[in-house]
Chains A and B, each alone.
Chain A
Amino acid sequence: MILAQSEGFDPLNPRIEIGQWADDLVSWFEDTFKPVLDLISDGLGGAYDGLSNALREPSVILIVLLFGLIGLLFWERFPPLRALSMSFVVVPIVLGGAAGWGVHALGEELESQFLALLIVFALIGWLVRSWAFGIFSAVAFYVVAGMDEWDRAMETLSLVLISVIIATLIGVPLGILAAKSQVVSNAIRPVLDFMQTMPAMVYLIPTLFAFGIGVVPGMISTIVFAMPPGVRLTEHGIRNVDTEVVEAGQAFGSPPLRILRQIQLPLALPTIMAGINQVIMLALSMVVLAAMVGAAGLGLEVVRGLQGLQIPRGAEAGLAVVVLAIFLDRIVAALADRAPVVRASRVRD
């Protein structure tokens, strides 16, 4: 078919059918990998549905678990507590869980779907960063709820979180490989450039064909678009670990994987976290595009606002995106700050 078209090729008046070839490639791809595509589609779609439902209408179990986690953070955050015996650690988890149960009951009582999660976000903001940020988070998410964007914000958060997790799960190992092997590095660099510079709209089209309308093509495009900084910064971080320190590992007989685990990853962690932060920001920047192929959430609201030239709709959804962005950015940055290397570098007498 490709041949048939190039038969009539006139070098002086060329028409190179790259668009057609891309189309052929996509259909071939679709036919060949149908089972795989279905698997991906079901997996991503299922994960998204599960998470967005859980966030919009959090069950008591989820809230209890989250509060247990907060109890643990609380414990870890305050040195006098940490100094107590390790077997004590169940106590804050159990206490946290109990508090979660109470908060959930209170939410039911007040018929407020968002209350429990809002408290979770605020507490995480406090424990991971500062009390000021905790208050900011509480107010910001309260405003989101007040704009009636809560459910959509949770849908967008689900889309972003799942995309980011997958982009990280693929991107970080790729970055490690690229740092270890010049061949891999050379091979993936142009691919990453391509993924990042190709207008994102363009690969919405093939994913649309492969996965149909809905949230899945949006997530795939988001993953593809957001992944490159994760790969790049991982590679950069690992390559920039002081060679002498890596040599020290080798000189004392440590095998390569152990050097990766004990030396390279811990030392590269702040850089890798910076990469993940960028992945999150890029993923958030994709929500509007994802909405164009059928993903729900804040993006869709922006698109509708655009189509209907409705300033209030667009503004409210846009502001909610900003709240998510600030929250995720500060949390990840604070986590990066708690990496062992960073902490150790701050120790003073």
Chain B
Amino acid sequence: MAAVRAEGLYKVFGRKADLAVQQLKQGASREEVAKLGVTPAVIDASFEVEPGEIFVVMGLSGSGKSTLIRMLNGLWHATDGHIYVDGTDIVNAHGAELRQMRKEKISMVFQHFALLPHLTVAENAAYALDIQGMPKEERFARAEEALEMVGLGGWGDRFPVQLSGGMKQRVGLARALAAGSEIMLMDEAFSALDPLIKREMQEQLLQLQSSLNKTIVFITHDLNEAMRLGDRIAVMRDGRIVQIGTAEEVLNDPANDYVAQFVADVDRTRVLTASSIMEPAQFVVNADSGPREAQYTMREKQMVAAFAVGRRGDKLHGVVHDQDVVSAVRRGDKSLEGIIDTDVGAVHQDTYLVDLFAPSAENPLPLPVIDDEKRLVGVVPRVTLLSAMASIADVVHTADSPAQDAATTGVTRGFGTEASNAGQGGDA
């Protein structure tokens, strides 16, 4: 069962909201109903968020993201439609019922942190537990645990004013984690932070998520962030969800021109993986066969080196070089075992492009790409990597994208760091 499910969700601001929803359902456009003096902020949104998933909602400012997320925990009432949290429709829930649901099931992290300035860090982190009615000692113990999780152990006595932006948001995160709810709503949680801090927080969130497995609805206007964090991404425009898919789906198969333009800007080196650009491995010899067979294959295809792959399961053993094969034949060796060079810089198929530069630079051969079973699934020749980069760079430099305000700075800066990261083998 989906952790959160929205069905035909509408939110229209203004007196004639219900009438506007009727007209929208009959196919009226946003502009047409605007004549009624209403603002349709969310129009016919339907989606499901699976347990343990990071579901990113991405769109430009004003596209209705905040409105959408605030309906999910009932902070704002939906004008029409249904929201199921753990299977219960909360659209018509009121007062105590809603509060109970928020205490038990949904917590929230805010763009500007929303800490209580007159309370200490520990009291802030324990806030949700205080509301839940947990006794003082227990809740401070839990709050301290949560603070440790976000790297703020021992900071409990400070006041928010003493913390940097990133640390404040860690407290916001700790408060949500301490609440113990399965679902976390994050409305532009990292948008107010400096780019570097933002990256740090994203990494931390991913790290926490790998052990905690929360269900996270994450709002952002930053495409790079969406790609980095989202298991799935919903793209919003003018109140409507125009596409839902994985990062790669959205990138490679945009649902419409809008999405295409939006994604033209993304830093693809952080989204595309080795498997998306790899090519079939041609220079392969059988690791279980003798040097003679290898020599024959290599001469046939004019190879200087070949990947030695086991017959059973295609497992990559290493690489053999032409002169070694020739010497082995001369010596009369029966197997390739003695001459297989295992140091081939194999990369996993889910490695991001950004992390391929270093191994590629060090290795004269195409990078072998392997899967979880160490099977050779393809190779990335340097030329492939470089041309992938070139086409991305082209798109970035020529794109006149609607995401300009939001993402461009991130992308350009991103490229700068990418270049320097490449030398250090990336930072992920």
Q: Which residues of A contact B (CB under 8 A)?
A: 242, 244-245, 247-255, 258, 262-263, 266-267, 339-341, 343-349
Contact = CB atoms under 8 A, between A and B. Distances in A.
B348 interface: no
Nearest to A251: B108
A204 to B, nearest CB: 42
A248 B99 contact: no
B211 interface: no
B303 interface: no
B179 interface: yes
Contact of A253 (B70, B102, B158, B160): B102
Nearest to A346: B161
A252 B102 contact: yes
B107 A252 contact: yes
Given A244-B111, A251-B102, A347-B159, 10 more contacts: A244-B110, A244-B114, A248-B114, A250-B102, A251-B73, A252-B103, A343-B118, A344-B160, A345-B117, A345-B159
B65 to A, nearest CB: 15
A296 to B, nearest CB: 42
Interface of A: prevailing SS:
helix
Given A250-B75, A253-B99, A255-B99, A245 B107 contact: no
B128 interface: yes
Given A244-B114, A245-B114, A251-B75, A344 B179 contact: no
Contact of B118 (A249, A253, A258, A266): A266
Given A244-B112, A263-B116, A341-B118, A347 B127 contact: no
Given A245-B116, A258-B131, A253 B161 contact: no
Contact of A344 (B73, B100, B161): B161
Interface string B117-149: 111000000011001100000000000000000
Nearest to A340: B118
Contacts of A339: 118
A252 B159 contact: no
B114 A242 contact: yes
Interface string B157-179: 01111100000000000010001
Contacts of B116: 245, 248, 262-263, 266-267
A248 B118 contact: no
A247 B112 CA distance: 12
Interface centre among A248, A262, A267, A339 (most CB of B within 10 A): A248
A271 B111 CA distance: 25
Nearest to A244: B114
A247 B110 contact: yes
Contacts of B118: 266-267, 339-341, 343-344
Given A252-B127, A254-B131, A267-B118, A348 B162 contact: yes
Given A244-B112, A253-B102, A254-B131, A344 B117 contact: yes
Interface of B: 70, 73, 75, 96, 98-103, 106-108, 110-112, 114-119, 127-128, 131-132, 158-162, 175, 179, 185
A68 B272 CA distance: 73
A250 B106 CA distance: 11
Nearest to A343: B118
Given A244-B110, A345-B161, A254 B99 contact: yes
Contact of B114 (A247, A255, A340, A348): A247
A253 B132 contact: yes
A161 to B, nearest CB: 28
A253 B114 contact: no
B128 to A, nearest CB: 4
A252 B179 contact: yes
Contacts of A247: 70, 75, 108, 110, 114
Contacts of B70: 247
A340 B75 CA distance: 28
Nearest to A254: B131
A342 to B, nearest CB: 9
Nearest to B70: A247
29 contacts: A244-B114, A245-B116, A247-B75, A248-B110, A249-B131, A250-B75, A251-B75, A251-B102, A251-B107, A251-B185, A252-B102, A252-B128, A252-B175, A253-B98, A253-B99, A253-B101, A253-B128, A254-B99, A254-B131, A263-B116, A267-B117, A267-B118, A340-B118, A344-B118, A345-B117, A347-B159, A347-B161, A347-B162, A348-B162
A292 B3 CA distance: 72
A344 B120 CA distance: 8
Contacts of B73: 251
A253 B133 CA distance: 11
Contacts of B128: 252-253
A262 B115 CA distance: 12
Which 6 pairs between the two chains have the least Cβ-Cβ distance?
Answer: A253-B103, A248-B114, A340-B118, A253-B102, A251-B108, A253-B99
Contacts of A252: 102-103, 107-108, 127-128, 131, 175, 179
A318 B179 CA distance: 59
A349 B119 CA distance: 16
A247 B75 CA distance: 7
A263 B116 CA distance: 7
Contacts of B100: 253
